[in-house]
């Protein structure tokens, strides 16, 4: 029944795509009913899903835009995670080249990690994203709805949205800190509401709710709490808000955005306008949008940094840059085997400062390159360096999930274009730094990559450049994280291991350069 409804919703979205602005959302699987369960009349036009907790590929997103995108424009609504931001922006740029009118709305509603710790990465996207999608889905049905209008309305909703989550992180992170067990659910809820509402806390006071014209409450089940317990929690949240003289006009309670079957829940507050309330009340026919409770008797007294990357267009002809084919094949094979051998160690690093799959992601791609080489692919038979880089870039795009995949793909595509024009790897670094704010000192693979490239740019030997990369990797151990999922974990993890991405890059470079 659920799948039949979903298929019908997707088919309908394709038929109606040209008449109205298309709304497309998506991200990693494991959050169902988000995102596919929100496709239907009055909500999303289409959704695209990656592997569990991993961003969909650029190719997947492009196909969804091509299938569902309308002539009046397409708005991509995504949550603020690096892989999603990079992949969806790259897909949007490619769609623009193909003639689509595009915009990307990034939702960040988390307040559990404050401004100082979240740094450049900003607020995570959590369950409040569903409210953004519902409001925009309703307004998109109006005759005067334009892409520009929907984008700016989305920004307004996000700026008035705040969510705090308790339990394991939405991507199985260990959490930014550990709460002591509480014998009374009232105490736990009060702690969560303090983070949402405390105006004196400059680090977390993202929205001022005490002057809200209308207040919307969403209590979201991460999937593993029983209906009985969850109903009691929702009642407690409404009651504790009332004790603070805050009375929600609308209450939404249910499993809207899960984390597989995570034992946790989140509280979302929206400082809503009357127009937002009307949009939330508008009918929607989707499997994942459930009924809400009106609380009309207790009314209260009445902020995208667009990361743009122009896709490099490369002609398919052979370039003039030739290398020794046997030596290149040996170097690539050696590097891939070293990555595979280091899979377990890199995953161990990532289990302490991320979601534990960095080594597996790199190793899966290395195995795909090795398999491609066995079939005669990847390495150009005539020693064409550019052709080899382009082919490996495609393998990376199709096999490497998440942030790592986007970063490596952008770098390799830019290197290929630069080599075709007699350039250098500096162009790849420049392309990365246009697409991401990550720099040396942020505890990312950039801490190893940039010193390596800058050493080569300065005329130093490959041995010296490799030493620079290793030193950069080593400096990340104990370094405060400014980007990526490491931002959200306990600082102890930063002291115990180097950045997994930087560690993986050094293994790759050693394989390429050291016979």
Residue 50: which of 67, 30, 66, 72 has the closest Cα? 30
Strand order in the sheet with 74-79: 46-52, 22-29, 74-79, 102-107
CB-CB contact of 476 with 489 (8 Å): no
The backbone torsions φ and ψ at residue 30, rounded to the nearest 5 degrees and listed phi first, read: 105, -5
The backbone torsions φ and ψ at residue 301, rounded to the nearest 5 degrees and listed phi first, read: -65, 130
Which residue of the set 31, 89, 171, 247 is catalytic? 171
Contacts of 3 (CB under 8 A, 6+ apart): none
- Is 171 catalytic? The answer is yes
CA distance 64 to 46: 7
CB-CB contact of 125 with 81 (8 Å): yes
Tokens at residue 218, please? 């969403």
Q: Is 245 exposed, middle or buried (0-12, 13-18, 19+ CB in 10 A)?
A: exposed
Residue 248: half-sphere exposure toward Cβ, Cα within 13 Å: 22
Interior angle at CA 257, CA 253 and CA 258, nearest 5: 105
Helices (H), 69-127: 82-97, 115-118
Tokens at residue 398, please? 């199709």
Residue 282: DSSP 8-state? S
CB-CB contact of 255 with 223 (8 Å): yes
The catalytic residue positions are: 171
């Amino acid at each position: 029944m659920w799948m039949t409804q979903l298929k019908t919703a997707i088919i309908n979205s394709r038929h109606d795509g040209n008449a109205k602005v298309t709304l497309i959302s998506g991200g990693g699987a494991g959050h169902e009913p988000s995102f596919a369960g929100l496709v239907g009349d009055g909500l999303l036009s289409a959704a695209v899903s990656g592997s569990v907790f991993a961003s969909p590929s650029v190719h997947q997103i492009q196909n969804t835009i091509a299938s569902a995108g309308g002539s009046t424009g397409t708005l991509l609504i995504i949550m603020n995670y690096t892989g999603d931001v990079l992949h969806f922006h790259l897909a949007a740029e490619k769609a623009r080249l193909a003639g689509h009118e595009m915009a990307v709305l990034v939702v960040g509603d988390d307040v559990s990690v404050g401004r100082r710790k979240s740094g450049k990465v900003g607020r995570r996207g959590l369950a409040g994203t569903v409210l953004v999608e519902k409001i925009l889905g309703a307004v998109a049905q109006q005759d005067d709805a334009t892409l520009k209008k929907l984008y700016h309305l989305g920004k307004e909703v996000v700026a008035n949205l705040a969510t705090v989550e308790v339990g394991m992180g939405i991507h199985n992170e260990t959490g930014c800190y550990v709460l002591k067990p509480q014998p009374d659910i009232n105490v736990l809820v009060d702690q969560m509401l303090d983070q949402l509402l405390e105006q004196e806390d400059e680090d977390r006071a993202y929205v001022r709710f005490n002057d809200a014209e209308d207040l919307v409450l969403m209590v979201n089940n991460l999937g593993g709490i029983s209906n009985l317990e969850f109903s009691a929690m929702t009642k407690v949240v409404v009651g504790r808000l009332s004790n603070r003289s805050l009375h929600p006009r609308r209450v939404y309670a249910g499993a809207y955005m899960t984390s597989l079957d995570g034992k946790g829940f989140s509280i979302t507050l929206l400082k809503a306008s009357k127009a937002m309330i009307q949009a939330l009340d508008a009918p929607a026919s989707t499997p994942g949008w459930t009924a809400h409770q009106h609380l009309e008797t207790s009314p209260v007294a009445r902020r995208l940094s667009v990361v743009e990357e122009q896709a490099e267009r490369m002609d398919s002809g052979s370039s003039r840059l030739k290398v020794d084919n046997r030596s290149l094949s040996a170097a690539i094979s050696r590097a891939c085997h070293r990555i595979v051998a280091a899979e377990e160690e890199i995953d161990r690093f990532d289990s302490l400062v991320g979601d534990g799959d960095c080594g597996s992601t790199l190793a899966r791609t290395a195995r795909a390159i090795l398999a491609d080489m066995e079939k005669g692919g990847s390495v150009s038979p005539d020693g064409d360096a550019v052709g080899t880089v382009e082919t490996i870039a495609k393998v990376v795009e199709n096999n490497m999930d998440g942030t790592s995949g986007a970063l490596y793909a952008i770098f390799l595509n830019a290197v290929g274009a630069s080599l075709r024009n007699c350039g250098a790897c500096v162009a790849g670094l420049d392309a990365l730094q246009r697409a991401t704010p990550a720099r040396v000192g942020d505890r990312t693979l950039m801490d190893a990559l940039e010193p390596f490239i800058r050493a080569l740019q300065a005329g130093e030997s490959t041995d010296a450049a490799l030493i620079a990369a290793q030193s950069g990797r080593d400096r990340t151990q104990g370094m405060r994280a400014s980007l990526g999922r490491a931002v959200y974990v306990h600082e102890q993890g930063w002291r115990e291991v180097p950045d997994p991405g930087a560690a993986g890059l050094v293994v790759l470079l050693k394989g390429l350069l050291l016979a």
